[in-house]
């Protein structure tokens, strides 16, 4: 019997749980090259997990569904969640190694990422507490590595009552739109980077572009057309992050390009998308307009990339609201 049941959450996270090892390098190596490592840092990670911690920092009630190994890395991940007041009662501890993510970050904040799934592959539909999910306002889920977990996510989407927030992440490149279409169709909120959007809609849109069109203009055109295509497929709200250009947010009625929040010193872009989702969903649950949800997402992402790692720079509610007030006034 599960003890300390905790229902009526604002957001429940579902996704891979990884122990992140971050290598600060002179530059990202190409095949056959030898490049120096400047420093090594470690932290708890996982895309949906990072977003969940971001929401906890913003004062929302959150929990997480996932699996860790019965090793020191797994206990570290659980302890980090507890420190952030994330409910861990639905995280399974499995015999084996906790998932790992090895990230290489250069002086410009660009990165290369390698994933070892470990026991993340041991999470199955029967491990999920549907009542726990349905008592939440929103379920936010992100990518796993294997197809079995993707099928689990599809099955959950069919029976859940909470609003569905989905960040496909690497699924956009590994499986493609046809494979994740059922989740996209059921998504209340769909979050994509520009590169993920491009991978998903490649070959599906007939976009006429002038050869003299700038890269910025081409990005905006694809964001508009791609988001409209995904809304037509069934996603209620689509958000596309555009790096220095900010983001594009759209639903069936509104469409907005939202400028980026200024950052003087980009340290590490790892986790920026996860932070964006936290800021955006905070806006949703605060009753903000679509455009303002995009602004809050951009601000949260800007705070994140000022620090190394996915969580260190995540803002508090006070920091986010203060920055929003100043940003919106400009």
Checking if the pLDDT of 5 tops 50, the result is: no
HEC secondary structure over 7-21: CCCCEEEECCCEEEE
Average pLDDT (171-179) is 90
CB atoms within 10 A of CB 282: 26
Give which of 197, 318, 327, 213 is closest to 259, Cα–Cα.
Answer: 327
Neighbour order of strands in the sheet with 37-45:
37-45, 18-25, 99-105, 111-116
Checking if the pLDDT of 6 tops 60, the result is: no
Average pLDDT (24-31) is 85
What whole-number distance in Å separates Cα of residue 22 and Cα of residue 41?
5
Checking if the pLDDT of 145 tops 90, the result is: no
Give which of 95, 77, 97 is closest to 86, Cα–Cα.
Answer: 77
The tens digit of pLDDT for each residue in 237-275 reads 999 999 999 999 999 899 999 999 998 888 888 899 999
CB atoms within 10 A of CB 43: 22
Checking if the pLDDT of 207 tops 70, the result is: no
Average pLDDT (120-134) is 92
Selected residue with higher pLDDT from 73 and 252:
73
What whole-number distance in Å separates Cα of residue 181 and Cα of residue 170?
15
Average pLDDT (1-21) is 76
The tens digit of pLDDT for each residue in 259-316 reads 999 988 888 888 999 999 999 999 999 999 999 999 999 999 999 999 988 899 999 9
Average pLDDT (58-87) is 97
CB 168 within 8 A of CB 16: no
What whole-number distance in Å separates Cα of residue 150 and Cα of residue 133?
17
Burial class (CB in 10 A: 0-12, 13-18, 19+), 51: buried
Average pLDDT (69-83) is 97
Confidence of residue 2 (pLDDT cuts 50, 70, 90): very low
User: What's the gap between Cα 247 and its chain centre?
Assistant: 14
* All domains of the chain in start order, with CATH: 11-329 (3.40.1190.20)
Checking if the pLDDT of 182 tops 90, the result is: yes
What whole-number distance in Å separates Cα of residue 42 and Cα of residue 21?
4
Assessment of whether the complete model's pTM goes beyond 0.75: yes
Helices (H), the chain: 47-57, 72-83, 130-134, 147-159, 171-174, 177-186, 194-201, 215-233, 272-285, 290-304, 317-329
Checking if the pLDDT of 1 tops 50, the result is: no
């Amino acid at each position: 019997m599960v003890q300390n049941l905790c229902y009526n959450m604002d957001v429940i996270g579902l996704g891979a749980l990884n122990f992140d090892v971050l290598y600060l390098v002179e530059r990202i190596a190409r095949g056959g090259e030898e490049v120096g490592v400047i420093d090594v840092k470690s932290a708890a990670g996982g895309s949906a997990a990072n977003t969940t911690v971001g929401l906890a920092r913003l004062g929302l009630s959150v929990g997480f569904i996932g699996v860790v190994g019965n090793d020191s890395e797994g206990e570290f991940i659980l302890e980090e969640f507890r420190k952030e007041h994330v409910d861990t009662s639905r995280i399974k501890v499995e015999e084996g190694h906790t998932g790992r993510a090895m990230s290489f970050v250069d002086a410009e904040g660009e990165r290369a990422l390698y994933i070892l799934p470990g026991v993340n592959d041991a999470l199955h539909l029967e491990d999920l507490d549907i009542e726990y999910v349905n008592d939440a306002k929103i379920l936010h889920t992100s990518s796993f590595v294997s197809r079995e977990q993707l099928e689990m996510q599809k099955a959950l989407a069919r029976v859940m009552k909470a609003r569905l927030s989905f960040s496909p992440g690497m699924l956009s490149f590994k499986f493609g739109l046809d494979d994740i279409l059922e989740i996209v169709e059921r998504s209340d909120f769909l979050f994509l980077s520009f590169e993920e959007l491009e991978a998903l809609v490649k070959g599906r849109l007939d976009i006429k572009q002038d050869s003299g069109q700038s890269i910025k203009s081409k990005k905006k055109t694809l964001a508009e057309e791609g988001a409209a295509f995904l809304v037509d497929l069934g996603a209620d709200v689509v958000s596309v992050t555009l790096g220095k250009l900010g983001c594009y947010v759209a639903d069936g009625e509104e469409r907005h390009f939202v400028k980026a929040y200024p950052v003087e010193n980009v340290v590490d872009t790892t986790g920026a998308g996860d932070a964006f989702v936290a800021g955006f969903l905070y806006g949703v649950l605060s009753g903000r307009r679509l455009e303002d949800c995009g602004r809050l997402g951009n601000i949260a992402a800007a705070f994140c990339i000022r620090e190394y790692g996915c969580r260190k720079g995540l803002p508090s509610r006070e920091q986010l609201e203060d920055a929003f007030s100043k940003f919106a006034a400009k």
